Amino acid sequence: MIISASYRTDIPAFYGEWFMARLREGHCKVSNPYNGTENRVPLGRDDVDGFVFWTKNLGPFLPHLEEIDALGYPFIIQHTINGYPRELEGRVVDWRDSVEQAHAVAERYGPRTVVWRYDPIVVTNTMTLEQHITRFNAMARALEGAVDEVVVSFAQMYQKTTTNMNRAAAEQGFRWFDPSDWSKRELVSDLVQVAAERRMQLSVCSQKKYAVGGAQEAACVDAYRLSDVAGYPIKAKRKGNREGCCCFESRDIGAYNSCPHGCIYCYAVEDHARAEKAYEAREDKGEILVGAGVTGRNEQIRGG
């Protein structure tokens, strides 16, 4: 079983102590986001094929990777580095710090360990399509040698996400747009070329219609990459989390409405005040990350 930690929240940035406590105990509990029931998930070495970590700030988790590696667990890291203005990503670390983290991991654990996520792509009057190309180019140059794949997708504006974006735009004085499909394909084609110049394959997450110009469809939970890192084959079946998702089967151990990064576009946080409350109420020694009674339910499902 591959464990995802987590596309529902940023465990490496905020819940690393909880994760390590559960790893040492050999299990955790996960709350079902639909009905609140709790299920036990084994985390013993014989139960886990490997981990996929998702984060925007790997810094607090770097020391823990040493112990995870020493225990024999292979892992890959989906590292989101967008470099967006504070109006979109309220508390995310500077992208240059994230680049240093990616290089540190690649040097220690190998260049197949980290995947760069430029995701989701959000277009505003302060982050135009042209500015995305410029920013992506700078980041790709800085990340060359540390990653061999970059995953992109365009923001999906669920109802609550749209509400949050509109509220932030009104409060902070920016405007956001949902570009045409043609504009999105043109941008992907441009980014593919930039990525290739930096020895990276660009892939598109769960949005096949934008996989153009040499872009591939992404498998963010990737048993093949995990096998490369482990040094032996890891068997898993394809089982996407939503239509168009090419991920391999995994079990996510996170919780919605628990990440305090403050990203306005986030699909996994309906209410940022609730997310702050969940983080403040965390129990590092508890079996469950955050209970449904704190986070509430979230009907949005993430494709890896």
pLDDT, one tens digit per residue, over 192-250 is 999 999 999 999 999 999 999 999 999 999 999 999 999 999 999 988 777 789 999 99
Average pLDDT for 106-129: 97
Q: How confident is the model at residue 292 (pLDDT cuts 50, 70, 90)?
A: low
284 pLDDT above the threshold of 60:
yes
143 pLDDT above the threshold of 60:
yes
Average pLDDT value for the chain: 93
The side-by-side arrangement of strands in the sheet containing 250-252 is 216-217, 201-204, 149-154, 114-121, 75-80, 50-55, 2-5, 250-252
| pLDDT higher at 239 or 301 | 239
Q: Angle formed by the axes of helices 181-197 and 129-143, to 10°?
A: 20
pLDDT for residue 302: 40
77 pLDDT above the threshold of 80:
yes
| pLDDT higher at 301 or 296 | 296
301 pLDDT above the threshold of 80:
no
Do β-strands 123-124 and 114-121 pair in parallel, antiparallel, or remain unpaired?
Answer: unpaired
106 pLDDT above the threshold of 60:
yes
Of 35-44, 64-73, 109-118, least confident by mean pLDDT is 35-44
The count of C-alpha atoms lying within 13 angstroms of the C-alpha of 132, restricted to the half-sphere facing its C-beta, is: 24
pLDDT for residue 299: 41
- Measure the CA–CA gap between 249 and 244, rounded to whole angstroms: 14
pLDDT for residue 33: 80
Average pLDDT for 68-78: 98
Bridge partners for 204 per DSSP = 152, 217
pLDDT for residue 10: 98
- Measure the CA–CA gap between 115 and 100, rounded to whole angstroms: 14
35 pLDDT above the threshold of 90:
no
The count of C-alpha atoms lying within 13 angstroms of the C-alpha of 81, restricted to the half-sphere facing its C-beta, is: 31
Average pLDDT for 45-62: 98
